Structure 1
């Protein structure tokens, strides 16, 4: 490609144009061996030098993340090293990282193979990542992770624009895999094609209220035909917990005498014990005890219920257009807690959030809830979802 002359000033660099082809190359005579290559989507600093019959090239960074002065200084250091040693990198730095396929990188990401400090992933997360990679990027699995480019990732995400949730999940999986490689490898690997690639914002659906400003949660739950699933919905509503925590509950986690519930493993891996409201205690007392260990047993013996989907006003599982989703119950719990006059940290603690409060103060807050607080929230939930109906009646088999 032809090289064009320009003065490397901020204004000129911002206006540097890509004039077709692979890239347009610019140089400033004040900075020997430093070039700016402008492509369709990025502007990259490169060191280039012909020395003793050999061409030396090195990618330095991108504009504007790397300034002119930083790029020039880096180029000067590499130039001195080339003339002194004949190589572009330090002798103590491995020059060629081993080839790793995306499949192997995925296995390393989910198995803590690179470093014991890696975060341990749940089986659900592993299955989700594996499924989205196998379905939407199957050819990439056998490719070297160094050969997967930002342009490839960006085009893939754009191609999935009709399913934004899937696109974002794919981007999240790739970003996590490359993040593990960057964090724990010590062989000079620095490639991340997901950097600055944008996913899609989550769509938010308004909670549905009727003409009396009531939220029809209890009405819909009361119509769920399966009593165990009906009880699980009520547990979600009166605890504000995540669906995963409700599904994994064991009878040994519930202390009916002390009216507390222990979640052995929160989202952040920690164990936490929560006070239960009288309504929540009644829900668990009247839940059909079909298994000695699992609280909410599914259709298959010894297996918990499958994830609850959204339900319509008649209590039927639907894919779209329902009036209640599992995560909606966390919204209502938070709103009810705020109406009960609870502070932000207490609300976050009661619904099992990982972060109770931003900053150091949050790390020093423990055991913020009480039975009185839980009852106050439950009363607000009933007031918003009324009319009040005894839990025993709600959980009576049809």
Structure 2
């Protein structure tokens, strides 16, 4: 085996590439035991030969000139051997790429399928190249370049989502591989635009109930009434099952809120009456001919307006607006914050919240419903 001074970059630079094949060089001296420089037709790569158990393994340490000298190569070798001893190497953890690290994170995630589907779309669109790189070679500037490109396209909210996905993967790699948490400082520079409020002036009469009562489908109409009178998220309304509805007690149970908690909610008489108007009492409350068997999308509600002399339908009420209006009505009724949090299904914020076994009552739900009805210009 030929030798060379592997301790100095200039001497390594003088080593010529062979026309064919690979030539291994050892250090011209007593140091660097087991360290070799693999010189191919176009590359020079550091390799460590080490007995691991009953066999000799060749461990690739990285390329020259990124790893400039034997001293640097041995420092990396020490870390790799330590990873092997503690089961943090790529083979033991199964994490070679940043994408592997993200997949490992997802296996332990409790996120819903819809959320995971969104993750996949954003990864396929923006992170294919980055997630294919070995975790050791992914730098913060690489991550920042991906996020900045999305920002430059004016997609600030998307940049926030992608930034979060990269941090998930980097943190998982840090935990399992013992690598630095490279994405710790990754952030979006631009401030996302302020999320819009409702599309009409809340200080004036609310058009909500007029819009809802114009819906021709009884099932869809009751679903919208449930959203506005309970403030629940659309997905929880759409996935409501009759087994979780108790009309006698005027309650509904949501088994999996956004925070993965289970809650029983009191409902107003207006909601009870609306649910009683539906013709079925088993299975999904809002069935539909869909893959899931229930309504998949409640869309939005519109009002006719004249634009440039032509009648057009203008979006007036979105699904999440119901949650905004429900909270507005609850605060207008001066209900305590902890009651509003319970009725919204929010995560417990204090020790008292954890100990509270359910202070929100049927009367609270009725007060909010009555306020909404009044704001819509109807009699309670």
**TM beyond 0.5:** yes
Higher strand share: 2
Further displaced range: 132-141 or 276-285: 132-141
More helix by share: 2
The aligned length equals 296
For residues 176-228 of structure 1, the C-alpha deviation after alignment (integer angstroms, 9 at most, x for no partner) is 23333334x2x412233363312643532132445971222222223334332
In 2, the alpha carbon distance for the partners of 1:261 and 1:223 equals 25
The match for 1:120 is: 110
Report deviation, 1:264.
1.3
2:185 is paired with a residue whose SS is: coil
2:343 is matched with: 350
CA distance in 2, matches of 1:56, 1:254: 66
Taking only aligned residues, the RMSD between alpha carbons, in angstroms, comes to: 3.1
Is the CA contact 2:206–2:376 (under 8 Å) kept in the aligned structure 1? yes
Provide the secondary structure at the position in 2 that maps to 1:311.
strand
Q: Which residue of 2 is the match for residue 251 of structure 1?
A: 242
Residue in 1 that maps onto 2:326: 333
**Residue 188 to residue 363, structure 1, CA distance change in 2 (3 Å):** same
Query: Gapped runs of 5+ residues in structure 2?
Result: 1-68, 306-312
Structure 1 stretches of 5 or more lacking a match? 1-52, 59-81, 113-118, 390-398
In the other structure, the counterpart of 1:168 is 160
Q: Structure 1 pair 101/88, CA: closer, same or farther in 2 (3 Å)?
A: closer
Go from structure 1 to structure 2 and tell me whether the alpha carbon gap of 1:164 and 1:299 turns closer, same or farther (over 3 Å shift).
farther
Question: Judging changes above 3 Å, is the alpha-carbon distance between structure 1 residues 372 and 197 closer, same or farther for their aligned structure 2 residues?
Answer: same
The corresponding residue for 1:370 is: 361
Distance 2:304 2:273 in 1: 23
What are the residue-to-residue correspondences of 1:296-307 with 2, within 5 Å?
A: 296-300=286-290, 303-307=293-297
1:322 pairs with 2:338: no
Q: Equivalent of 1:55, from 71, 74, 78?
A: 71
**Measured at CA, do residues 202 and 264 of structure 1 come closer, stay the same or move farther in structure 2, by a change above 3 Å?**
farther
Structure 2 vs 1, CA of residues 153 and 226 (structure 1 numbering), >3 Å: closer, same or farther?
Answer: farther
Tell me the TM-score normalized by structure 1: 0.66
Shift of the alpha carbon at 1:375?
0.3
Map of 1:1-398 to 2, 5 A cutoff?
Answer: 54-56=70-72, 97-98=89-90, 100-112=96-108, 119-161=109-151, 162-183=154-175, 185=176, 187-193=177-183, 195-198=185-188, 200-201=191-192, 203-209=194-200, 213-289=204-280, 292-300=282-290, 303-313=293-303, 322-355=315-348, 358-388=349-379
Q: 1:288 to 1:192 in 2, by over 3 A?
A: farther
Shift of 1:346: 0.6
CA distance 1:311–1:154, change in 2 (3 Å): farther
Taking structure 1 as reference, are residues 192 and 279 closer, same or farther at Cα in structure 2, changes over 3 Å only? Answer: farther
